[in-house]
Amino acid sequence: MTRFRFADIGNQSGKTVLVTGANTGLGFEIGRHLALRGARVLMACRNRAKGEDAIARIESEMPGADLQFLALDLADMESIRAAVDRVANEARLDVLINNAGLMMPALGYAHGVEQQIGVNHLGHFALTGLLLDRLASDGGGRVVTQASIAHRGARLDLDNLDARKGYDRNAFYKQSKLANLLFTLELDRRLRAAGSPVAALACHPGVAKTEIARHVGPAKVVLPLIGWLLNSPQCGALPALQAATDPQAHGGDYFGPYGLAELRGSCSGPAYISGNARDASVARQLWTRSVELTGIDPALPVG
């Protein structure tokens, strides 16, 4: 597979793509580039004012862009279900990009567990599970989940998802990103076992200069000093755009920046997956626990 660049994003006219966390950072750039290539983009985020502002910014660059705000709070199951109901009114759904996330906030909760695993993984697990039939019915879409190089060296502690045995926000962030990859690879195995036309892929942005680090105190001082080393939000969006649009991409693929140990780069390609992320036994355990915690069962056979 050759390296993927912005010029390789083909015409997306006729496709509908849902992007979570689309009002800022990576999500905004993902939605922007898809809209510029002709896709209808459902800009999913919690805050209507910020979502509509993001839409206005894209429309100022491309009048007539096909964009729609979609209210979505991944920490709230009622909000997730309501968003799915609204998507049911769309003519089609071709790609779901699970991009939104939290990074190292103070301890909080979502879906009965610590909020990073709750939002970054469980919220997207539920959203994906509820949209799989729709993605399949429109000819076989893609589920693209944003992971991170932070998954390397991470360990999933299924006995402490609620942080009652201790909370280290960095460790919890890393395990949420490990969960994203475990979920993607398990979803891919199960979709294949079911003979589904839907493909599950993952990506990571390198280390991109976005608002996701707003909860990390030292980042406010360090990022302005080392910003030149980091990926821009636009370049950080490229791996997700490859996963969403590259005709050569397949289920189970994982993309990241090509350059400086996958930290940054203006092109994208296959990325490194840790041994822990490839552990199918742990992935099955995470799947079972995710069904229990969300009440959403995608009803896919074990691959």
List, by residue number, the catalytic residues: 173
DSSP calls for 139-183: T--EEEEE--GGGTT----TT-TT-TT---HHHHHHHHHHHHHHH
DSSP state of 276: G
Cβ-based neighbour number of residue 57 at 10 Å: 12
What tokens appear for 194 in the block? 């079911």
E-strand stretches of 8-94: 16-20, 40-45, 67-71
What tokens appear for 165 in the block? 């045995």
Distance between CA 74 and CA 96 in Å, rounded?
Answer: 14
E-strand stretches of 15-171: 16-20, 40-45, 67-71, 95-98, 109-110, 113-114, 142-146
**Contact (Cβ atoms closer than 8 angstroms) between residue 98 and residue 30:** no
Task: Give the 3-state secondary structure of residue 199.
Answer: strand
Q: Which residue is it, tokens 């997207």?
A: 124
Distance between CA 179 and CA 158 in Å, rounded?
Answer: 10
